[in-house]
Chain A
Amino acid sequence: DIQLTQSPSFLSASVGDRVTITCRASQDISSYLAWYQQKPGRAPKLVIYGASTLQSGVPSRFSGSGSGTEFTLTISSLQPEDFATYYCQQLDSYPRTFGQGTKVDVK
């Protein structure tokens, strides 16, 4: 199985901050990576797929980059509604696997 490691696991930030989360894959997954946002008590929500394609309806302050084994999710200016846990997921092979999550909370 492909292992995904996110860093950091926890991140404290303030509204307006630029936030970057990294996801590293245990083998080359090309650009087959998605990012999800999950708020407490809610289902995950798709943010980015194909490493860099913004899901419809997601604000443009979110962006994704990377290929191969290293990927990043960036929030250019953190908004109050962005405090959540973010997961990466590899779409390259089965079984599909997720990173352990990065919780973004208030500084």
Chain B
Amino acid sequence: QVQLQESGPGLVKPSETLSLTCTVSGGSLSTSYWSWIRQPPGKGLEWIGYVYYSGSTKYNPSLKGRVTISIDTSKKQFSLTLSSVTAADTAMYYCARDDLYCGGASCREVLDYWGQGTLVTVTS
């Protein structure tokens, strides 16, 4: 059973950088994509981006180049940094495994295991 656990500061000051780590247990990082998703209080879900075990990444353009996701397979961790944060970045941040499934002519990734989430509040 794959388990994910987010960790990092719960409070970040405006204009500073948010940094979170996700530690994976019960599975290998070398077989899947690994994603970050966030959810502002009382609102819906926003996909932030993913990292593949090779280190390749894809990000949501809405975050305007402020996001970096990296991976350390030896530590079984992947990380999120979000720079120049504002109050709009206050949210529950989830890490998740984005596992491949194949149906028909193509394969796609789906978020099948999630961490419990960590609340990050941007406040001075």
Contact = CB atoms under 8 A, between A and B. Distances in A.
A102 B62 CA distance: 24
Given A46-B110, A50-B108, 17 more contacts: A30-B104, A32-B106, A32-B108, A42-B116, A43-B96, A44-B94, A46-B111, A46-B112, A49-B110, A53-B103, A87-B44, A95-B60, A95-B61, A98-B44, A98-B45, A101-B44, A101-B45
12 contacts: A34-B111, A42-B116, A43-B96, A43-B114, A44-B45, A44-B111, A53-B101, A55-B112, A91-B110, A94-B58, A95-B47, A95-B61
A92 B94 CA distance: 21
B28 to A, nearest CB: 19
Q: How large is the interface on B (under 10, 10 to 19, 20 to 34, 35 or more residues)?
A: 20 to 34
Interface residues of A, number: 26
A61 interface: no
A39 interface: no
Interface of B: 44-47, 58-62, 94, 96, 101, 103-104, 106, 108-112, 114-117
A89 B37 CA distance: 12
Interface of A: 30-32, 34, 36, 42-46, 49-50, 53, 55, 87, 89, 91-92, 94-101
Contacts of B59: 95
